[in-house]
């Protein structure tokens, strides 16, 4: 019997805090070499400004096996549809039997933000209090929750090219936020003075400048995950302590890192430290109070499978979802 879990089934099953903890274990397992995960396979659909990816992974320690099918279609909002949609297929690691199919769109947003929360816990200054969100979409909402879960944020400043979107985020999220959310008119106004900066835009070109950054700021760069595209300028990347989710995936997919290398301003070795190594303590995090730190995420399948396994366990415990016999 396969457990079918819709988005409404999933919401409320897990908290941001426990998602962050689950990802810490998964990233450590991956960086130790105990997980099996090929780099994401991507098929482009340029005529529709979209792409389709398949992301399999097996984490023996977490008891998670399966794959995510994900699409990213940037024109979808004009059609009243989400940019990111997908499904998680979970398998029984002992038998290979399909055990669950669940919505991956919502979980992609949660696991991406939770990874940034983990990175913020490991890299941001302990006294970080001000948050800048560049981008007011689904990721902006989840990142507001994730950063607040690991640092006592006292103000969140939001900028989006659509002020209407930014105001909508403020209205929807203020009841769930202990800190006041303030909509600002420029990216610079959001970033200046911020201790933690989150870039969640769909921009193909840099959206901030190095001179805007506060000494000791931490950046979570998650919006750009395609070769040739970037949210962050070279000056920011080459002057930061950079940590990635997967060195192989980042060097293959992250334009934010590829472009400085192509320009001769950086080497691949500068971008080789993984967040799982920080969790394990085999690589250092922040090395000085004034250091700029950057977590560059492209998103990897071990995140999806670890969170999907957590959701599956909770759904079984609470009797949530619909069971279908797909093998009869």
68 is catalytic: yes
| Neighbouring C-beta atoms of residue 19, cutoff 10 Å | 27
Taking alpha carbons only, the member of 117, 147, 115 closest to residue 131 is: 147
| CB-CB contact of 48 with 181 (8 Å) | no
Judged by DSSP in three states, 85 sits in strand
The two three-digit tokens of residue 133, written as one number: 């969100």
Among the listed residues 11, 25, 68, 296, the single catalytic one is 68
| CB-CB contact of 194 with 226 (8 Å) | no
Give the list of residues 6+ apart from residue 144 with CB closer than 8 angstroms, or none.
131, 133, 156, 169, 173, 177, 181
DSSP state of 129: -
Dihedral, CA of residue 28, residue 32, residue 35 and residue 39, to nearest 10: 90
Alpha-carbon distance of 10 to 12, in angstroms, equals 6
Round the CA-based radius of gyration of the chain to a whole number and report it: 19
Alpha-carbon distance of 43 to 283, in angstroms, equals 34
Helix (H) or strand (E) holding 16, with range, is helix 16-31
Strands of the sheet containing 155-159, edge to edge, are 181-183, 155-159, 130-134, 196-199, 218-221, 293-296, 241-244
DSSP state of 126: T
Alpha-carbon distance of 148 to 178, in angstroms, equals 8
| CB-CB contact of 215 with 269 (8 Å) | no
Catalytic residues, by residue number, are 68
């Amino acid at each position: 019997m396969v457990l079918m879990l819709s988005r409404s089934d999933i919401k409320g099953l897990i908290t941001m805090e426990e998602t962050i903890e689950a990802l810490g274990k998964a990233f450590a397992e991956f960086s130790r070499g105990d997980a099996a995960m090929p780099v994401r396979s991507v098929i482009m659909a340029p005529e529709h400004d979209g792409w389709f990816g398949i992301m399999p992974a097996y984490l023996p320690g977490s008891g998670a096996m399966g794959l995510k099918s994900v699409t990213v279609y940037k024109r979808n909002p004009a059609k009243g549809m989400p940019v990111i949609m997908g499904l998680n297929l979970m398998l029984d690691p002992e038998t290979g039997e399909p055990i669950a199919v669940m919505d991956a769109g919502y979980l992609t947003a949660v696991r991406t933000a939770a990874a940034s929360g983990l990175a913020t816990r490991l890299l941001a200054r302990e006294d970080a209090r001000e948050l800048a969100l560049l981008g007011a979409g689904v990721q902006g909402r989840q990142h507001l929750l994730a950063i607040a879960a690991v640092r006592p944020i006292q103000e969140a400043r939001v900028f989006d090219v659509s002020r209407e979107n930014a105001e909508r985020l403020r209205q929807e999220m203020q009841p769930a936020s202990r800190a006041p959310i303030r909509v600002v008119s420029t990216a610079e106004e959001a970033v200046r003075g911020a201790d933690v900066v989150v870039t969640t835009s769909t921009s193909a070109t840099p959206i901030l400048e190095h001179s805007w950054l506060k000494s000791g700021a931490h950046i979570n760069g998650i919006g750009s995950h395609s070769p040739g595209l970037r949210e962050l300028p070279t000056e920011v990347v080459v002057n930061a302590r950079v940590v990635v989710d997967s060195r192989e995936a980042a060097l293959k997919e992250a334009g934010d890192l590829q472009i400085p290398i192509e320009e001769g301003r950086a080497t691949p070795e500068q971008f080789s430290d993984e967040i799982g190594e920080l969790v394990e303590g085999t690589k250092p995090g922040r090395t000085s109070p004034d250091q700029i730190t950057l977590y560059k995420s492209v998103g990897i399948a071990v995140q999806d499978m670890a969170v999907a396994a957590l959701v599956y366990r909770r759904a079984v415990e609470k009797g949530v979802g619909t069971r279908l016999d797909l093998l009869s």
